[in-house]
A and B are shown apart, each in its own frame.
Chain A
Amino acid sequence: MEPRGEVFVLGLILSLAVLLISVLISVWARRFTRSLGDYYVAGRSIGALNNGLAMVSLALSLTTFIGLTALIIEGVYIAVAVYAAFTASFIGLMILAAPYLRRHKSFTTMAFISERYDSKTLRIMSVIVMLVVSVLYLAGNLKGIGIVFYYLLGVPEIWGIIVGGLVVTLYVTLGGMYGVTYNQTFQTIVLIFCMMFPVAVVLKTLGAAGWAFPPLGYGNMVTLMETVKPHYFWPMLVHPVTYIAIFLGSFFGIIGLPHFVMRFFTVRDAREARWSTVLCVFLVGLVNTTVYATGFAAVYYMNTSGITIPAAAYDYMVFLLVEQLAGQGWLAIVVAGAVAAGLSTVAGLLMIMGAGLIHDLYGAIKPAVDDEKKLRLSYAAMFIVGILVIVFSLNPPQFILEAIMWSFGIAAGGLGVPIVLGIWWKRTNKYGAAAGMIAGFLLCFIPWLMIGYLGMNPVEIPFPFFAKYFYGPLGWIKITAIGVPVSFILTVLVSWLTPPPPEALQRQVDEMHGWQDYEPKRYNGKGLPITIIVLAVVVMWFMTTLYDVFPK
């Protein structure tokens, strides 16, 4: 894809303004940081409104602005399923984990796993899983920032990755979690404005009824789209287990992605954790449906204007569309929104990586180190992590959404399962959690190495044995329908076959659920583990059915 050909001054000014304001917010927020708790979890003082808005900016990364639009233009119904699963997954996160994690009083996901299972080994294992998923997620988002800079200035994507990466590293290092939270709140407001209004103008130009409300303003384009892409709304192109796999990856992936979970450690109490999620899911749905309008508008525009855009350039489509149909003023606003979206997600990831390395890894190896030294080390670690991630991102994935989907899958199998069972089943012990984590992580990570990294054909990979069923569009997604169920089955079975955890650990479960007293029978029945095993087996069996029905 060729850049615009000239420096886009207005877009550049607005983007630099977003970057500058982000750094200034961090400098201002630095005054609130006096302890390690302030640096990592903002002193647990964030309210529901602030936290909900901050979560929105984490959720609406550049994947939403760029990657999801590209997937929608490809015309695969899977995009609809991704949207539905991702939106619903926030409520899943809330129902299964958020308020309980807040009551546990940990700093990070890794600390929660370590303390709930009383195991340093699990702490180190979870730090490794966290680093893998965070780097995958980061690489996708930094590439997105590179795309924006390439389109704006015509400079190689690598410069966008370096400049964007350095700015985020600077403000995360400076401001800690206070800076990250206030920045994310600011960036959410920017990106909602920068998405909704330009898309409304685009829809108006295309003559769509209801253009003023983009989430539903594109319905009358549907009939035309169906004449040019009859498969656009077909769910029947892929095996139904694909949708269950997407759901499992989103649902347990978001619980396993530590930068999402970390937001719940920053709020005042469990009630604030719950309501911030409801606010977040409403706003995420609003923006995501607007992204749908963008994708539909792009399909409509391409097919009515006769313009041909190569599939490799679909990541740029949102910018092309706004420039052509709304004008350069609106394009500058969209570009600023895209920069804000990229920065906020990268900031959250850097924060959790720094916390994981110093608080969870270094703290586990040298528990005697005092908080003041840890705080000093945190500043240094955050800066070094930022630089390392920039270096790693210089060779980014081809499509950013793909990298993000892989990280969701790996997080689901590797971290999501031990967190959920640790909250809801007292009998889960460290042996079961370790078995589930290792199996879930490897079952998703090894296929990523073979398919996502080495570029092998999904149906030909030697591991796992189910590979022949990974056929069809985005067929590799079905790996999650093995990784997550196997992780659940092993965690339950191994926990059952080994001694139960001590009462002190079982008490944590009651405390997480808000009970003042301890009752051994609570969260300790056989119904949950049996249901989990049955459902897990059914999902895996279902994948092996209907083999001859769907296109390969």
Chain B
Amino acid sequence: MKAYKLEIRVTTICLILVCLTGGFLSSFFVILNESFFSKVATPAHLVQYYGESMFVVQKYVMGFPLHYFLLIVFSWIGVSLIGAIWCLVMDKLEDQQRT
């Protein structure tokens, strides 16, 4: 059962991380909007679209808004790495199962 528990634990952790990068991170940007955006008065010509107040991006990384940069990096480089780590663990587990 030791190898089984390892499979379940590693899979669960990797799955949570992939879920986070794949969809929940975007939701958090909405819920935690004040951490990533500043609320300002909407310019007059845009009031009809956005209401009296709107959000502007607070921080940039390499020219990109922070939340956007986080998302593309995590969802590309991040999941590739998570996938590779999971593969390495499963390769090891497979060798154990064969012996």
Contact = CB atoms under 8 A, between A and B. Distances in A.
Given A230-B56, A516-B97, A281 B22 contact: no
A233 B65 contact: yes
Contacts of A77: 26
B64 A219 contact: yes
Nearest to B20: A88
A271 B22 contact: no
A379 B27 CA distance: 47
A240 B18 CA distance: 17
Given A84-B71, A243-B27, A285 B77 contact: yes
Given A233-B57, A246-B23, A278-B83, A292 B72 contact: yes
Contacts of B63: 209, 218-223
B86 A94 contact: yes
Nearest to A278: B83
Nearest to B62: A219
A96 B15 contact: yes
Contacts of A85: 22-23, 75
B23 A248 contact: yes
A81 B72 contact: no
A95 B22 CA distance: 14
A84 B57 contact: no
Contacts of B79: 87-88, 90-91, 281, 285
A521 B62 CA distance: 50
A84 B50 contact: no
A274 B90 contact: yes
Contacts, number: 167
In the complex, which of the residues A84, A215, A218 has the most CB atoms of chain B within 10 Å of its own CB atom?
A: A84
A32 interface: no
Nearest to A248: B23
Contact of B23 (A81, A236, A239, A516): A81
B94 A270 contact: yes
A105 interface: no
Nearest to B63: A219
Size bracket, chain B contacts: 35 or more
B80 interface: yes
B84 interface: yes
B26 A240 contact: yes
B93 to A, nearest CB: 8
Given A95-B11, A289-B72, A250 B94 contact: no
A413 B29 CA distance: 27
A80 B80 contact: no
B33 interface: yes
A91 B94 contact: no
B23 A244 contact: yes
A226 B57 contact: yes
B52 to A, nearest CB: 14
B95 to A, nearest CB: 10
A453 interface: no
Nearest to A88: B22
A250 B22 contact: yes
Given A216-B62, A275-B87, A235 B24 contact: no
Q: Give the residue among A218, A221, A246, A282 with the most B Cβ atoms within 10 A.
A: A282
A260 interface: no
Contacts of A281: 79-80, 83
B73 to A, nearest CB: 9
B90 A80 contact: no
A234 B67 CA distance: 10
A215 to B, nearest CB: 8
Interface string A68-97: 000000000100110111011111101110
A303 to B, nearest CB: 15
Give the 9 A-B residue pairs with the shortest CB-CB distance, closest first: A247-B23, A219-B63, A88-B22, A285-B76, A243-B26, A84-B75, A240-B27, A240-B30, A91-B83
Given A80-B72, A247-B22, 10 more contacts: A91-B82, A95-B18, A215-B72, A219-B63, A222-B63, A236-B33, A243-B24, A244-B27, A251-B22, A282-B80
Interface of B: 1, 4, 7, 11, 14-15, 18-19, 21-31, 33, 37, 46, 49-50, 54-57, 60, 62-65, 67-68, 71-72, 74-77, 79-80, 82-84, 86-87, 90-91, 93-94, 97-98
21 contacts: A81-B26, A83-B75, A87-B79, A91-B14, A91-B82, A95-B86, A215-B72, A222-B60, A235-B26, A235-B67, A236-B29, A239-B30, A251-B22, A271-B91, A275-B87, A278-B83, A282-B80, A285-B77, A288-B76, A289-B72, A521-B1
